[in-house]
């Protein structure tokens, strides 16, 4: 990926086989906080020679993880800008905020409302029980998962809810059990389209698995030595599962802090 220009066409990232992406006409150009230029090109724009357009999930295996994360950030900024062209209060066209404290928000010149990008915050929780070789994980399948894949329980926070409350609610709703001893694992920006995934490990407290019949296709306790097919290395769900297999989910600093 070019160091300074990141190009999306719809939800597909342009990847060039040559070192630099070609010059291109864009519908939307944004200078990102880090100085990169994010461009959104028209859906009917023909692909230049030597360029492929790939969804972010498919692009992951082809890119340096840092470049992929940057592309995800660019996508979130572009999506936000494309979806916030007019004031939600009075429908006037928004303008970029001006001044040193403006950040990267937009302001309504008529009523003064300012808007800034926001994340949809979701929790994900890996539930364990038992010790040592008898340890088991509660994993579930959503009907949307690839065939055979099981993962940790996840869901969006609701307005007015803490992360911990969201964990307890989602676990009760989706699995019908209770957990305790929540430990923070780490977090991951999730650009599909504007999520922030906050990951916890928790211990089973009580209850038998009674999966939600709508959201969960199947849920089971799996022994660490007999895990099913797991999600790809793209997601923090997999990082947690790998930590569980390595016996590291009981340690402090087990998560994804790049300074650890
Ligand atoms: Zn307004």
Q: Are residues 104 and 197 in the same domain?
A: no
Kindly state whether residue 153 falls inside one of the protein's structural domains: yes
Kindly state whether residue 253 falls inside one of the protein's structural domains: no
8 phi and psi angles, rounded to 5 deg: -115, 145
| pLDDT for the residue numbered 120 | 93
Question: What is the 101 CA–ligand 1 centroid distance (Å)?
Answer: 20
Q: Are residues 149 and 130 in the same domain?
A: yes
Q: Are residues 101 and 182 in the same domain?
A: no
The whole domain housing 111 covers 85-118
Question: What is the 86 CA–ligand 1 centroid distance (Å)?
Answer: 8
**CATH number (domain holding residue 154):** 3.90.79.10
SS3 content of the chain, % helix, strand, coil (to 5): 20, 35, 45
Q: If pLDDT is split at 50, 70 and 90, which confidence band does 254 have?
A: low
Answer yes or no: is pLDDT of 77 > 60. yes
5 phi and psi angles, rounded to 5 deg: -125, 130
Answer yes or no: is pLDDT of 2 > 50. no
In 3D, which of 127, 130, 103, 128 has the Cα closest to residue 115?
103
126-140 average pLDDT score: 95
The structural domain count of the chain equals: 3
Question: What is the 114 CA–ligand 1 centroid distance (Å)?
Answer: 8
Question: What is the 107 CA–ligand 1 centroid distance (Å)?
Answer: 8
Question: What is the 43 CA–ligand 1 centroid distance (Å)?
Answer: 30
Q: Are residues 140 and 240 in the same domain?
A: yes
Q: Are residues 112 and 124 in the same domain?
A: no
Q: Are residues 51 and 71 in the same domain?
A: yes
Question: What is the 115 CA–ligand 1 centroid distance (Å)?
Answer: 10
Q: Are residues 14 and 104 in the same domain?
A: no
Question: What is the 11 CA–ligand 1 centroid distance (Å)?
Answer: 29
81 phi and psi angles, rounded to 5 deg: -65, -40
Q: Are residues 20 and 95 in the same domain?
A: no
Q: How far apart are CA 83 and CA 115, in angstroms?
A: 11
Q: Are residues 13 and 103 in the same domain?
A: no
| pLDDT for the residue numbered 119 | 86
Residue-wise pLDDT tens digits, 86-107:
999 999 999 887 655 556 788 9
Query: Which residues are in the CB-under-5-Å shell of ion ligand 1?
Result: 87, 89-90, 92, 108, 110-111, 113
């Amino acid at each position: 990926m070019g160091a300074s220009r990141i190009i999306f066409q719809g939800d597909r990232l342009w990847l060039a086989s040559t070192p630099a992406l070609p010059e291109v006409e864009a519908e939307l150009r944004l200078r990102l906080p880090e100085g990169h230029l994010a461009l959104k090109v028209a859906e009917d724009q023909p692909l230049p020679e030597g360029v492929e357009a790939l969804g972010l999930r498919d692009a992951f295996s082809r890119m340096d993880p840092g470049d992929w994360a940057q592309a995800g950030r660019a996508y979130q900024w572009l999506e936000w800008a494309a979806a916030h062209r007019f004031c939600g209060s009075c429908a006037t066209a928004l303008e970029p905020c001006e001044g040193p404290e403006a950040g990267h928000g937009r302001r309504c010149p008529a009523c003064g409302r300012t808007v800034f990008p926001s994340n949809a915050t979701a929790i994900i929780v890996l539930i364990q029980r038992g010790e040592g070789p008898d340890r088991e994980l509660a994993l579930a399948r959503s009907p949307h998962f690839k065939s055979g894949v099981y993962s940790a329980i996840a869901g969006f926070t609701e307005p007015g809810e803490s992360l911990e409350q969201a964990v307890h609610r989602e676990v009760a709703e989706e699995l019908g059990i209770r957990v305790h001893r929540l430990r923070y694992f780490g977090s991951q920006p999730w650009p599909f389209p504007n999520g922030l995934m906050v990951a916890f490990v928790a211990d089973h407290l009580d209850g038998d698995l009674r999966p939600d019949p709508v959201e969960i296709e199947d849920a089971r306790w799996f022994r660490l030595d007999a895990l099913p097919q797991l999600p790809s290395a793209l997601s923090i769900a997999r990082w947690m599962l790998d930590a569980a297999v390595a016996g590291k989910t009981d340690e402090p600093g087990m998560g994804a802090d790049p300074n650890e």
